[in-house]
Structure 1
Amino acid sequence: MWPQSHRSVPLALFTVASFCGPVLAPIIGGFLTQYASWRWGFWLVVIISSIVYAFIVLVLPETYAPRLVELKTAKTSSDALVSHGPLKDRFIQNLVRPWIMLFTEPILFPLSLYMAFLYGVLFLDFSAYPVVFQLARGWSVSISGLSFLGIGIGMAFAAILSPQVNRLHSHFVRKLGPLPEARLPHLIGIAWLLPVGLFWFGWTALPPTHWVVSIIGGVPFGFGLVMVFLGINSYLTDCYDRFSASALAANTMLRSLFGAGFALFANDMYQKLGTPWATSLLGFFAVAMTVLPFIFFKYGSRLRAVSRFHIMTRQMRA
């Protein structure tokens, strides 16, 4: 729907919408749980998702160009078959292809693992923050949810700056050429904001440090999270083009598994290691992964040269 030069803003909105939901949920859910009941958390999701689903079914048009061509062809030919084969085969292919790409593409797996780890940390925070602000500081369920505002502000700030990402991309395209790696140079420095935010929170979370200091530590984490996701999603879209939906689906599957899994051991980890060292452990992993934007910026062209789906994309263009 958008050319490469204009993708940053819509992808930023998509990314922020994906992450602001989990960040806003504890804020809203805390008040619902304290003043209504935990069931209202589920009822609110049912109500909102039902309204959105009805809106999508009734109003949202088809936008995928190959599908539009199929529909146009079907109207002009009474015996025209779907160009991609029977619906059953297409359905199976679309379910299987993301898994194949995830475990066979040298570009997709390490970047998806990086994003999955960060997503897991975000969901782990949903268990860690209550430990810190409810148990250590004695905040109520509703007020402790407000501690996520730091992460939310960082995410919002990243969305506001997304037009500047477009300009940065244009600058590096002029310098490097129209390569997917033009999406990565600014991430080499921004990726360091993630471990900075984790170490900041970990060593300022407990009294006697003022609570506002640890909440501010969420700002660089939220900002870096959205910027890294925005850059990597754009990079994967540019690399895989026609197969980008499958690439992003594979990415989403892995990070969803990490998001669910990290939340399971959060309480035990924070109780056994303590807040400073539990958060620092995550920070050390984040430090180890900050090299990935540089590696793919430096060697991405070589990896694309052995990427089967990227080669198929180039052949389709030709």
Structure 2
Amino acid sequence: MEIPTAKEESLLSREKQPGAPSLPVNRCINEAEIESNITTSDITPQAPNVVCFDSTNDPEDPQNWPNYYKYTLVGLLSAMQTMVNLGTLMCTPAVPLILESFGSKQNNFYSVLLVAIWELGEACGPLFVAPMSEYVGRMPVYHTANVMFTIWNIASGLSQNVGMLIVFRFLTGLSVASVTLDATVVGDMFPVEERGTVQSFLGLAPLIGPVFGPAIGGAISVSIGWRWMFWILAICSGVVELGFIVFFRETYKVAILWRKTKRLRKETGNERLQPAIARPSGWGAFLQKGLIRPARMICLSPVLVLLAIYVSVIFSYLYILLTTITPVFESNYRFSTRAASLVYIGIGLGMVCGMMCCRYTLDRIVKYHNGKSGAKPEHRLVPMIIGGVAVPIGLLVYGWTVQIHFHWMLPVFGLAICGFSVASTIISSFSYLVDAFGIYAASAIAAIITLRCLAGVVLPLAGPALFAKLGLGWGTTLLALVALAFIPIPILMMRVGDRIRQSSKLNVIF
């Protein structure tokens, strides 16, 4: 299956087919309007038994849903992803209390492992979540993952030793669906020229989650015990899932058309009706083709490989900083555990600035180029380039101001610059993937997230040893030099990414 681009996906939702049959199936793609990437085996607009959306105003098309309802769903998605991101780092400042309650010795390794093991689970989960969402639809995957996320948080609070807690943390990360699917749901519901703004708003709460997670976790663990961190998170995620049950509807066009096809077959008795976009017929075909799609994409798509490398580096830097902030500020500035957890707010403020940068640039850039030669998905990468220039600066400010023992506000400012870089990189990368990979954006995002999370597992484990060996100043200088070397990647993608994607030699069939 070749990848429909965002333009082709938009045509599926917006264009009428000339000479449509009498059945209400006339919203198909005209082959003359398709420039690349989609095959006649998937969409056959001239066939009389092809099921599409009825008209440009078909209420079954998610892009025709009322704006108030769309933004209600965006709020639900944002709330669930906030729960996920709170859970990622909530236990970080409470690790000493957790180890003490289990009778274990204090060990900085556990501080990193309890975060890294979550990322390992989150690296494995998208490889199943994304293909399943492209086969059965977004809705059943969300419901299943949200329920399992709640259950594993309850189990984490009931852990009797460190080993149990590590296992349950892995399973909790494995049950995360929102990180993979949220951006694709935005692509399902909003046209290209509106997605950047919505992606920015959707990205705000999840980016704040890692900031307030340690502060909330530190306060809860000190006041009512560390187990209540997980139980309160389970209660909150359970409430959000109730919101999903009440409000969430299927947004994936392929799943919607398949269900419409089944309904029309029953109503008309015509068993030859087929949806406009085919999917694997049966679970066997799905296992052979759909389940391995993210792995094939990351192996065979050059632009995806480049983007995955860059995003993984930036994301791993975030976790190196997040897992070392507490010991750095406790040892260098004599902060208490609760006070050190408030330092994370500096990263959060930087992330808000990064979100605002994406909010005011992504859609404006697309509209500007649409008015000239036409927008490309690569135009979404401008904020990423800005963030790439900012991250070495932030690392140097953070490392050397701590090393020289300047006032604590200066390293917090450096952390804010790093937060800006992370937000601008993640939001713009997801916006790019949704536009570039169309209905298979979930698999593309899954491929990125898998490598990103693996980097988030491995590289932060080296953080304490790196800073112990070189000191914080020279350690962050080394990281800054590496980040500087990766800045050409988004610039290269801006210049030649479109040609690489459209090249017949590199046009990968999935």
Give the alignment's TM-score, normalised by structure 1: 0.89
Is structure 2 residue 478 aligned with structure 1 residue 281? yes
Q: 1:129 aligns with which of 317, 321, 325?
A: 325
For residues 224 and 38 of structure 1, the distance between their equivalents in structure 2, rounded to whole angstroms, comes to 32
For residues 34 and 27 of structure 1, the distance between their equivalents in structure 2, rounded to whole angstroms, comes to 11
Verify the 8 A CA contact 2:300 2:508 in the aligned structure 1: no
Q: 2:402 aligns with which of 197, 202, 205?
A: 205
Aligned to 1:316: none
Aligned to 1:227: 424
Counterpart residue type for residue 219 of structure 2: F
Verify the 8 A CA contact 1:198 1:282 in the aligned structure 2: yes
For residues 399 and 203 of structure 2, the distance between their equivalents in structure 1, rounded to whole angstroms, comes to 25
For residues 139 and 195 of structure 1, the distance between their equivalents in structure 2, rounded to whole angstroms, comes to 26
Deviation at 1:112, TM superposition (A): 1.0
What are the superposed Cα offsets for residues 39-84 of structure 1, whole Å, 9 maximum, x if unpaired? 2222232222222233223421101111111111111214678842
Verify the 8 A CA contact 1:194 1:221 in the aligned structure 2: yes
For residues 73 and 309 of structure 1, the distance between their equivalents in structure 2, rounded to whole angstroms, comes to 34
For residues 71 and 216 of structure 1, the distance between their equivalents in structure 2, rounded to whole angstroms, comes to 52
Deviation at 1:153, TM superposition (A): 0.6
> SS of 2:225's equivalent?
coil
- Give the number of the structure whose alpha-carbon radius of gyration is greater: 2
Aligned to 2:239: 51
Q: How does 1:238-277 map to 2 (within 5 A)?
A: 238-277=435-474
Q: 2:224 aligns with which of 36, 49, 70?
A: 36
Verify the 8 A CA contact 1:239 1:310 in the aligned structure 2: no
Structure 1 ranges of 4+ moved more than 6 A: none
What are the superposed Cα offsets for residues 115-145 of structure 1, whole Å, 9 maximum, x if unpaired? 1111111111122211210122111111101
The structure with higher relative contact order (CA 8 Å, sep 6+) is: 1
Residue identity over aligned pairs, in percent, reads: 28
| Bigger proportion of residues as helix | 1
For residues 88 and 298 of structure 1, the distance between their equivalents in structure 2, rounded to whole angstroms, comes to 40
Higher mean Cα deviation, 80-89 or 269-278? 80-89
Aligned to 1:96: 292
Aligned residues: 313
Q: How does 1:58-207 map to 2 (within 5 A)?
A: 58-78=246-266, 83-84=278-279, 85-87=281-283, 89-90=285-286, 93-165=289-361, 166-206=363-403
What are the superposed Cα offsets for residues 124-175 of structure 1, whole Å, 9 maximum, x if unpaired? 1122211210122111111101111111011112323443121133223434
For residues 128 and 302 of structure 1, the distance between their equivalents in structure 2, rounded to whole angstroms, comes to 41
Aligned to 2:212: 24
CA RMSD of aligned residues (A): 2.4
Verify the 8 A CA contact 1:199 1:283 in the aligned structure 2: yes
Give the alignment's TM-score, normalised by structure 2: 0.57
For residues 243 and 442 of structure 2, the distance between their equivalents in structure 1, rounded to whole angstroms, comes to 22
CA gap of 1:92–1:150, structure 2 versus 1, over 3 A, is: farther
Verify the 8 A CA contact 1:15 1:230 in the aligned structure 2: yes
Is structure 2 residue 292 aligned with structure 1 residue 292? no
**Unaligned residue ranges in structure 2 (runs of 5+):** 1-188
Deviation at 1:251, TM superposition (A): 0.8
Deviation at 1:91, TM superposition (A): 5.5
For residues 115 and 274 of structure 1, the distance between their equivalents in structure 2, rounded to whole angstroms, comes to 25
